[in-house]
């Protein structure tokens, strides 16, 4: 008789395909063996980033592992095997992601909340520039609000301001963006220009 | 008196001459034998080539046919699957060298890509399953026998791939690491428990002292990476999981 524990993938209510490792009970425990822990962290990192991309989530907080009913329930817990990621482990995973530039502590100087880079700031910079070009908004002044809440939903809809600011400063380095003070806060002017 | 051989120089000459004739005859005979052998070998080659071209696809894609073919070959003392170096043109002819190497590469691929999570130990059926998945539908089925054979061809690489028996199961080890007796026992029990093992069950099943059971489990976690720790076990609080005894849908 084969009595092999079968780990299978699972599609969540939001339509996300969980990898089979998510149904392995020990996946939710911090591993004492450094080699094993490295592979577990790698799996968690990939899972967090792909899920964030799937749901367009930008922020993950340690407290998301402390409460239920938040955006991260589908991956931080697995009711089918009665396991959940505990806050200290999530905190450890977040620090590993920050160390690999796959996330950044936001706001800075705390370690309870991160901004996730499921796209790198460089990629966001290009996304912003392509969007402005495609929608004919080069050389005009755009407020941050124009970008984060455009009348026609874009890839940039809902982008957090700190991330937007990083993207603009990257474009600024190649002369493709200029920060401008506007009446109700900050704005930006984007220019064509070689990459 | 007239002896056939005669005496004196004349007789000596005559003997020389007959020796020469015998030698000529003998070399003519062996020449014809060699020629005969050559022609037989050519026939054999032609027959094999015909066999190879007719059955090549079946050999590569049908595990049962391949098994029968290998048995036939071993009974006549040739090893067509030994790879190009040993099998020579025979392997080339069947394309079995490539086939075998391809399978070898796939085995290495699966072993290496699962090594971190299973500590370099994988159950044979799981390996066959993952390799089959890697090959896809068009790759043709493979069996344990194919894998064992392929692992033998990997030997010269010195990569340390080895088939080991743990409990009643075959496992493939892809790291050079000795398993001590206690570890083998733990692995065998984990397999019968679906991958999960806890201290109490181990003690109950083996009669070991708690210290010995704990040491064996902790060694497997810390030293070998063969076990993953689970500190949310509903029943015992702390359980150990052996990834190599679990089936993973990648």
ipTM of the complex: 0.84
Peptide bond into A107 cis (omega under 30): yes
Q: Any idea which residue has 């392509």 for tokens? A: A130
Question: Measured between beta carbons, which residues in chain A are less than 8 angstroms from residue B239?
Answer: 25-26
User: What are the E-state strand segments in A1-89?
Assistant: 5-7, 10-11, 17-18, 59-61, 77-78, 83-84
Residue A26 pLDDT > 90: yes
Residue B123, both tokens: 């159950």
A121-190 placed in CATH 1.10.10.10: yes
Q: What is the pLDDT of residue A30?
A: 96
Residue B25, both tokens: 């005859």
Taking the CA of residue A32 and the nearest CA in chain B, the distance in Å comes to 7
Q: What is the pLDDT of residue A127?
A: 96
Contact A93, A41 (CB under 8 A): yes
Q: Distance between CA atoms of B162 and B176, rounded to whole angstroms?
A: 9
Residue A1 pLDDT > 50: no
User: What kind and span of H or E run contains B162?
Assistant: strand B162-166
Topology adopted by domain B178-250: Arc Repressor Mutant, subunit A (1.10.10)
Query: What residue spans define the domains of chain A?
Result: 10-116, 121-190
Residue A186, both tokens: 């900050």
Q: Distance between CA atoms of A30 and B232, rounded to whole angstroms?
A: 11
CATH annotation of A10-116: 1.10.10.570
What are A138-180's pLDDT values in tens digits?
Answer: 999 999 999 999 999 999 999 999 999 999 999 999 999 999 8
Mean pLDDT to the nearest integer, A61-81:
94
Residue A195 pLDDT > 70: no
CB contact under 8 A, B229 and A32: yes
Taking the CA of residue B96 and the nearest CA in chain A, the distance in Å comes to 33
What are A35-54's pLDDT values in tens digits?
Answer: 899 989 999 999 999 999 99
Q: What is the pLDDT of residue A176?
A: 95
CB contact under 8 A, A24 and B228: yes
Question: Along chain B (250 residues), what's the average pLDDT of each consecutive run of 10 residues?
Answer: 61 79 80 83 75 75 77 67 51 67 84 79 89 78 87 73 81 77 87 89 92 89 89 94 74
- A5-7 and B246-248 strand pairing: parallel
Q: Which residues have CB under 8 Å from B45's CB, separation 6+? A: none
- B162-166 and B169-173 strand pairing: antiparallel
Closest chain A residue to the Cα of B226, Cα to Cα:
A36
Closest chain B residue to the Cα of A83, Cα to Cα:
B232
Taking the CA of residue B188 and the nearest CA in chain A, the distance in Å comes to 12
Residue A128, both tokens: 């912003």
Mean pLDDT to the nearest integer, A58-74:
95
Q: A9, A26, A40: best mutation site toward chain B, by most B Cβ within 10 Å?
A: A26
Taking the CA of residue A120 and the nearest CA in chain B, the distance in Å comes to 27
Q: What is the pLDDT of residue A88?
A: 96
Q: Distance between CA atoms of A125 and A188, rounded to whole angstroms?
A: 13
Q: Any idea which residue has 């796939």 for tokens? A: B106
Question: Measured between beta carbons, which residues in chain B are less than 8 angstroms from residue A4?
Answer: 123, 126, 191, 194-195, 245-247
Q: What is the pLDDT of residue B83?
A: 44
Other C-beta atoms lying within 10 Å of the C-beta of residue B101: 16
Q: Quick one: how far is CA A36 from the chain centroid?
A: 24
Max mean pLDDT among A55-69, A178-192, B127-141 falls in: A55-69
Q: Distance between CA atoms of B56 and B33, rounded to whole angstroms?
A: 33
Query: A117: helix, coil or strand?
Result: coil
Q: What is the pLDDT of residue B233?
A: 94
Q: Which of A27, A4, A20 is nearest to B193 (CA)?
A: A4
String of DSSP letters for chain A: ---PEEE--EE-TTS-EE-GGGG-GGGGS--SSHHHHHHHHHHHHHHHHHHHHHHT--EEEGGGGTSSSSTTHHHHEETTTTEE--HHHHHHHHHHHHHTTSEEESSSS-SSEEEE-SS-HHHHHHHHHHHHHHTT-TTSEEEHHHHHS-SS--TTTT--HHHHHHHHHHHHHTTSEEEEEETTEEEEEE-----
Question: Burial, B30: exposed, middle or buried (Cβ in 10 Å; 0-12, 13-18, 19+)?
Answer: exposed
Contact B240, A29 (CB under 8 A): no
What percentage of residues in chain A have a pLDDT greater than 90?
86
CA angle at A97 for the pair A129 and A154, rounded to the nearest 5°: 25
Q: Distance between CA atoms of B187 and B49, rounded to whole angstroms?
A: 47
A121-190 and A10-116 share a CATH fold: yes
Q: Which residues have CB under 8 Å from A91's CB, separation 6+? A: A62, A111, A112
Q: What is the pLDDT of residue A3?
A: 42
Residue pairs between chains A and B whose CB atoms are closer than 8 Å: 83
Numbered ranges of CATH 1.10.10.10 in chain B = 178-250
Q: What is the pLDDT of residue A84?
A: 96
Closest chain B residue to the Cα of A4, Cα to Cα:
B194
Q: How many CA atoms lie within 13 A of B8 on its CB side?
A: 2
């Amino acid at each position: 008789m084969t009595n092999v524990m079968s780990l299978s993938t699972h599609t969540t209510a939001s339509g996300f395909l969980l990898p089979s490792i998510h149904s392995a009970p020990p996946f939710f425990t911090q591993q004492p063996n450094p080699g094993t822990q490295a592979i577990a962290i790698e799996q968690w990192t990939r899972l967090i980033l792909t899920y964030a991309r799937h749901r367009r989530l930008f922020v993950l907080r340690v407290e998301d592992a402390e409460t239920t009913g938040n955006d991260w329930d589908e991956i931080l817990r697995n009711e089918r095997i009665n396991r959940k990621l505990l806050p200290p482990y999530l905190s450890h995973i977040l620090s590993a992601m920050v160390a690999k530039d796959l996330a950044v502590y936001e706001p800075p100087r705390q370690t309870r909340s991160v901004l996730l880079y499921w796209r790198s700031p460089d990629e966001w910079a290009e996304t912003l520039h392509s969007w402005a070009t495609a929608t004919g908004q080069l050389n005009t002044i755009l407020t941050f609000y124009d970008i984060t809440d455009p009348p026609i939903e874009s890839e940039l809809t809902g982008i957090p301001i700190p991330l937007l600011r990083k993207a603009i400063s990257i474009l600024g380095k190649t002369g493709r963006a200029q920060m401008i003070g506007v009446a109700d806060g900050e704005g930006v002017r984007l220019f064509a220009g070689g990459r | 008196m007239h002896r056939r051989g005669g005496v004196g120089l004349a007789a000596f000459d005559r003997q020389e001459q007959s020796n020469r004739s015998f030698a000529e005859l003998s070399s003519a005979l062996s020449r014809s034998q060699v020629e005969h052998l050559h022609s037989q070998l050519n026939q054999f080659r032609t027959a094999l080539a015909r066999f190879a071209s007719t059955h090549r696809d079946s050999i590569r894609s049908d595990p049962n046919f391949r098994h029968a073919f290998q048995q036939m070959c071993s009974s006549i003392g040739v090893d067509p699957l030994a790879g190009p170096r040993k099998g020579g043109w025979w392997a080339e002819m069947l394309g079995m060298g490539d086939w075998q190497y391809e399978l070898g590469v796939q085995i290495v691929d699966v072993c290496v890509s699962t090594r971190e999570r299973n500590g370099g130990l994988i159950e044979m059926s799981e390996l066959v399953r993952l390799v089959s998945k890697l090959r896809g539908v068009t790759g043709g089925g493979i069996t344990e026998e194919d894998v064992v054979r392929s692992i033998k061809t990997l030997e010269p690489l010195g990569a340390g791939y080895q088939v080991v028996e743990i409990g009643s199961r075959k496992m493939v080890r892809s790291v050079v690491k000795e398993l001590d007796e206690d570890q083998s026992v733990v692995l065998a029990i984990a397999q019968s428990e679906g991958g999960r093992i806890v201290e109490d069950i181990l003690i109950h099943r083996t009669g070991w002292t708690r210290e010995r059971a704990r040491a064996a489990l902790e060694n497997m976690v810390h030293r070998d990476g063969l076990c993953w720790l689970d500190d949310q076990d509903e029943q015992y609080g702390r359980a150990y999981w052996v990834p190599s005894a679990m089936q993973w849908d990648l």
